[in-house]
Amino acid sequence: MTILEAEDRSGTFTTHRFAEQIVDLGEVRLNYSTLGDSSKPALLLIPSQTESWWGYEAALPLLAEHFQTYAVDLRGQGRSTWTPGRYNLDNFGNDLVRFIDLVIGRPTLVSGNSSGGLVSAWLSAFAKPGQIRGAVWEDAPLFASEVNPACGQSSRQALGPIMDLWSKWLGDQWSIGDWSGMQAAAPVELPFRMVIANEGMQVKRDGDDAVSAPEGPPQNFKEYDPEWARAFSAGTAMSGCDHARMLESVRVPVLFTHHFRQLEAGTGALMGAISDVQVQQVRELVTAAGQTFDYFSFPEMAHQMHEQDPELFVRLIDEWAAKLT
């Protein structure tokens, strides 16, 4: 394994509104940004796949009114270490167990989006006793990101095809890097449901309709190791971490936000991150483990609520956290 540190990719990055820091966790050096006073409750933010910590940039000042926030780059994303062959849920989670010990140093709330929501779920079950006070799973693809799930659609029937596309045309560590080829191939290689899903899950910004697709990769992709996509597509990202077993082991209260989703007529394939039947099974397993499960459905919401509607995102977390003992 040849790890790649931020200095190996120094020409990749841009500056952001908030300062960044690095902590050495042993195998990886994790990049993060923090905002808010230490007198407030701690909150750990875990971004989605292809998203660096600064995906939370709009939400951070609002969250800092209520929390001391820590937004991280997971291994393989942002300025954190790239670790070929080592992208799986257990490693992502254990990185953050050490991060909480070394950086936060006290019990924390945790909120993760998409694959970051899977990491939030992992911490809910497997972090050290007392580390996690409660967990937000923002549109997390539980079951739907597994190749052989215990419930509902598999990754093959959900977002797996787009992971295949990224892996094929970009390659591990950008070893292929054919962004324009990928853009041209997408309408041919992706099933039509993925076009609908992509439209429904993306954050809508003013002027989007008038702007053509970028000629090169956007900044968040430049900071992302596409081996992540291969790990999720092949199922190795979940190796050793069965979702049903993980959910049966949850030890803290959960807040789940469920965003855009539809089922393809005829096939039942999922357009979105997680289906209604899968969320119901998630709820049953979490509550059977003795934990509360607060659920909010936002079928018109993009995949990243924290970016599309940061005010709503912050209000939900603040009101939910206020109920925790």
Give the predicted TM-score (pTM) of the model. Answer: 0.95
Q: Look at residue 1 and tell me if it is in a domain.
A: no
In a domain, 74, yes or no: yes
Instruction: Report d(CA 160, CA 49) in Å as an integer.
Output: 13
115 belongs to a structural domain = yes
Distances (CA, A) of 305 to 11, 23, 93, 152, 293: 30, 28, 22, 24, 19
pLDDT, averaged across the chain: 94
Q: What confidence score (pLDDT) does residue 204 get?
A: 67
- Per-10-residue mean pLDDT of the chain, 325 residues long, equals 86 95 98 98 98 98 98 98 98 98 98 98 98 98 98 96 96 97 93 79 60 75 98 96 98 98 94 97 98 98 97 98 91
Q: Domain with 123 in it: what CATH number? A: 3.40.50.1820
Residue 285 and residue 307: Cα distance in Å, rounded? 29
So what's the pLDDT on residue 145?
98
Q: Name the burial class of residue 263, with classes exposed (0-12), middle (13-18) and buried (19+) by CB atoms within 10 angstroms of its CB.
A: middle
Distance of CA 228 to the CA centre of its chain: 12
Residue 291 included in any domain:
yes
Instruction: Report pLDDT for 214.
Output: 58
Contact of 258 with 295, CB cutoff 8 Å: yes
Q: Tell me whether residue 137 is in a domain.
A: yes
Q: In this predicted structure, what is the pLDDT of residue 211?
A: 43
Looking at the structure of the chain, the number of domains it has is 1
Q: Range of 236's domain?
A: 6-321
Q: Which residues is 45 bridged to in the sheet?
A: 71, 111
Say how far apart CA 261 and CA 234 lie, in whole Å.
23
Residue 35 lies in a domain: yes
